[in-house]
Amino acid sequence: MLSKNTVKFIKSLHQKKFRKQERAFFVEGAKNVTELLLSNFTVSHLLCTEKYQEENESLLSSFSGTKILLKPKELESLGTFSTNDQALAVAEIKENRSLELEKGQLILALDDIRDPGNLGTIIRIADWYGISKLLLSTNTADIYNPKVLNASMGSFTRMNFEYVDLVKKLEGSGLPIYGAFLEGMNVHELKGTAEGVLLMGNESNGISSELESIVTKKLTIPAFGKAESLNVAIATAVLCDNLRRIML
């Protein structure tokens, strides 16, 4: 049975203020919920259809939180999906903890990424390219926003992330810091080993001047046509692909 309090609780999690207060967030859809259950997040509530339960019997056998069987219409009234005949789950928000900046890794730093769809897509890209450490400026979108989680297609479960003052975190780290600029080195000519931090800037303004001063390697994605720019998620993918290519 779905109580009024549970409905109220889940609906409150659409807003950042209440996610912060309750230290909880929700994800929806089979893919995201399954990835969440397989991850090290603590899942408190699973709301699912009989269909999802039948298709994920062994996964659910080890689930110890509150499980509630619902009809698609009920699921849809709780989340953001217009159709959801599978599942929705609530989990605990992780503490914001300091990430170690080790050598030999590729780390992604995001400065002021405002659009939740962009952030989610970037997380999926990071996961594809084997990046598991994400540094987020404090004015970047909330990673627990449902739009971010949905766009990440479950990849958020594999990210370690820290909301932090990027200048303080990165200056003096001794790591190469890559950033995309108009007048940088053609990324197709890049040589060497890909380690360090790839820094991506705001959708409209790019990398802030304060952060520009700590970039050690300016990169440019060569243009062959007349588009003025690429979307930040697209640029992140192309840069990650080039950085991983030189590791061959």
Which residues would be at the binding site for its own copies (CB under 8 A)?
121, 124-132, 153, 155, 158, 188-189, 221-231, 233-234, 237-238, 241-242, 244-245, 248
**Closer CB to its own copies, 63 or 128, in the complex:** 128
CB of 227 to its own copies, least distance (A): 4
Distance, CA of 66 to CA of 63 (rounded, Å): 8
CB of 90 to its own copies, least distance (A): 23
Strand segments (E) across 9-165: 24-28, 43-48, 66-69, 87-92, 106-110, 133-136, 160-163
Please choose, from the candidates 198, 156, 142, the residue with its C-alpha nearest in 3D space to the C-alpha of residue 13.
142
CB of 56 to its own copies, least distance (A): 17
**Closer CB to its own copies, 78 or 108, in the complex:** 108
Token pair for 14 = 């659409």
Burial class (CB in 10 A: 0-12, 13-18, 19+), 172: exposed
**Closer CB to its own copies, 187 or 214, in the complex:** 187
On whether the CB atoms of residues 135 and 161 are closer than 8 A, the answer is yes
**Closer CB to its own copies, 67 or 158, in the complex:** 158
CB of 157 to its own copies, least distance (A): 9
